[in-house]
Chains A and B, each alone.
Chain A
Amino acid sequence: AQSVAQPEDQVNVAEGNPLTVKCTYSVSGNPYLFWYVQYPNRGLQFLLKYITGDNLVKGSYGFEAEFNKSQTSFHLKKPSALVSDSALYFCAVRDMGGSQGNLIFGKGTKLSVKP
């Protein structure tokens, strides 16, 4: 069965510093991986996805993610954090066991960026 794990409940970063939000995955076959962000009382916004190709995926709002097959990881990164990046971040993997490919989400990581 497909799954993702986000080992950190919370990540604290100073504004201007680089940030990393970790995600590891477990799949049978090729992984289809996604990152979403959820601001308070809002829906989920798509940031980026990895389907195939380059291991470094660039997404919205200056975020990028690095796919590492040997470490089964898909960590989200940003070179310089903004206070406005503070939100809840979800990693997800496509469930290839079903015909419609819904997403299976990690438990989320709360990112707090302090001025």
Chain B
Amino acid sequence: DTAVSQTPKYLVTQMGNDKSIKCEQNLGHDTMYWYKQDSKKFLKIMFSYNNKELIINETVPNRFSPKSPDKAHLNLHINSLELGDSAVYFCASSQTGTSGVPFFGPGTRLTVL
């Protein structure tokens, strides 16, 4: 299936731990994104990245870092997890350009205890 996939689907961890969420797309897109959806369902961009440029939303703590081993992957690393990091994290990808439609992964529900 052509899609955007994320692992794991659920992640439960303790405060202070470091965790990663993986994202892969097989749509041949050249831009990938990470979005955060909070408990009120608000969606906010965290990062957008293509092979030329990483754009970071200035409100994202530097404990969050994206890493892209290749064009098809954009993983999210989170250090020193805090309670407020609990949310659903969505990966997405699109072709660069005004008409490119972002396609979203199924989400990773992160719960920090």
Which residues of A are in contact with B by a Cβ distance under 8 Å?
32, 34, 36, 38, 42-46, 49, 51, 88, 90, 94-96, 98-105, 107-108
How many chain B residues touch the partner (CB < 8 A)? 29
A104 contacts B106, CB within 8 Å?
no
Which residues of B are in contact with A by a Cβ distance under 8 Å?
4, 31, 33, 40-45, 48-50, 53, 55, 90, 92, 94, 96-107
**Ranked 6 nearest A-B pairs via Cβ:** A105-B43, A100-B48, A44-B104, A43-B104, A43-B106, A102-B48
A sample of 24 inter-chain contacts (CB < 8 A) reads: A34-B102, A36-B104, A38-B41, A43-B4, A43-B106, A44-B43, A45-B104, A46-B101, A51-B98, A88-B41, A90-B43, A100-B33, A100-B48, A100-B49, A100-B50, A100-B53, A101-B31, A102-B33, A102-B102, A103-B45, A107-B40, A107-B41, A107-B42, A108-B41
Residues in B with CB closer than 8 Å to A108 are 41-43
